[in-house]
Amino acid sequence: MKGLYTLLIGLLGVARMAPAQDIARPDSTAPTAATAQVTIQADVDSAVVFIDSVMTGQTPLVVKGLQPGWHRLKIVHPDVTNWLTGSILDSIQLIAGEEKAVRYAFGKRYLILSVPSGADVMVGDSLHGTTPLVLTLQETGSNPSITLRKAGYDSARVDLSETQKGTKTVALKRLWSPDQRGEDVEEMTAERGGSFRAYLAGAVTVGFGAAAAYFKIQADHKNDRYLQDLSSASHSQIQVYDTASAICLAFAEVGFGFLTYYLLSD
């Protein structure tokens, strides 16, 4: 009996040890790195980084413990008050145990305006569009050569170092040919002549109108005196003033007619 009891105790101890050995075996063969790491850099420091719509930090940034697979990446320029800065969108794929490094460039965006608009924007020898134009330039050590060209106007250089919040406005200078200059001089002379005639007609209208009113007032005064003394001299003066008032009124009406004509013709 004592030997049988010893045998049962031994079998029970083996049964208790077996499960522990079976559980420990998979852990010893498990991979040591199941996540990935990514380093994010940009040409602008302190840009805000979002990974899968979650704000992660600011550039330059090292993100550890990312799950393998595809991840959505968004980098927002730190100057959010300037609509020309924009943001960067990308998707990156990570593999378990990978340490990936990515770098992005916002570049530089400028709003180029010209007066008048519709000028060709030349960057070097390449045409990039017409004003108004949002021009994107990659990161460079110096500003490139930019020229505005428009038919009938002199070419103008654009200095991007003198922008206001990325906006640059350039006034183009008109080119005049001898024929165009002569036509414009004739037009200006005609306009000035028309304006002078209108002013003259207006002056004649006002002047003779005022004279007609003056002579009419004098005639009324003489008429009051005539009613008092019934003298022939007062009667003659009344006729003279009435005649002068009528003549001035006629000239005022003629001047008003010319004034109306000049104003309508302009």
pLDDT in tens, 21-61: 333 333 333 334 699 999 999 988 999 999 999 999 999 99
Measured in degrees and rounded to the nearest 5, phi and psi for residue 89 equal -115, 140
Q: What's the pLDDT band for 92 if we cut at 50, 70, 90?
A: very high
Choose from 6-15, 103-112, 134-143, 233-242 the range with maximum mean pLDDT. Answer: 103-112
DSSP-based three-state secondary structure for 176: coil
Minimum mean pLDDT range among 57-66, 71-80, 146-155, 168-177: 168-177
Residues in the chain: 266
Whole-number pLDDT of residue 29: 36
As beta bridge partners, residue 168 has: 112
CA distance 75 to 204: 75
- Degrees, nearest 5: CA angle 94-95-97: 115
As beta bridge partners, residue 146 has: 123, 158
Choose from 6-10, 103-107, 174-178 the range with maximum mean pLDDT. Answer: 103-107
Specify whether the CB–CB gap between 130 and 118 falls below 8 A: yes
Nearest to 134 by CA among 74, 87, 85, 80: 85
CA distance 246 to 228: 25
As beta bridge partners, residue 112 has: 133, 168
Specify whether the CB–CB gap between 92 and 70 falls below 8 A: yes
Q: What is the CATH T-level fold of the domain 36-104, as seen in this structure?
A: Immunoglobulin-like (2.60.40)
Q: For the chain, which residues make up each domain, given as ranges?
A: 36-104, 108-171, 178-265
> Is the per-residue pLDDT at 185 higher than 70?
no
Residues 237-258 pLDDT 10s = 777 777 877 888 777 787 777 7
Specify whether the CB–CB gap between 64 and 2 falls below 8 A: no
Say whether pTM exceeds 0.85. no
CA distance 86 to 161: 20
Whole-number pLDDT of residue 23: 33
As beta bridge partners, residue 31 has: none
Question: Which one has a higher pLDDT value, 113 or 244?
Answer: 113
Whole-number pLDDT of residue 103: 94
Whole-number pLDDT of residue 181: 53
Helices (H), 29-132: none
CA distance 1 to 125: 107
- Degrees, nearest 5: CA angle 82-83-85: 75
Q: What's the pLDDT band for 230 if we cut at 50, 70, 90?
A: low
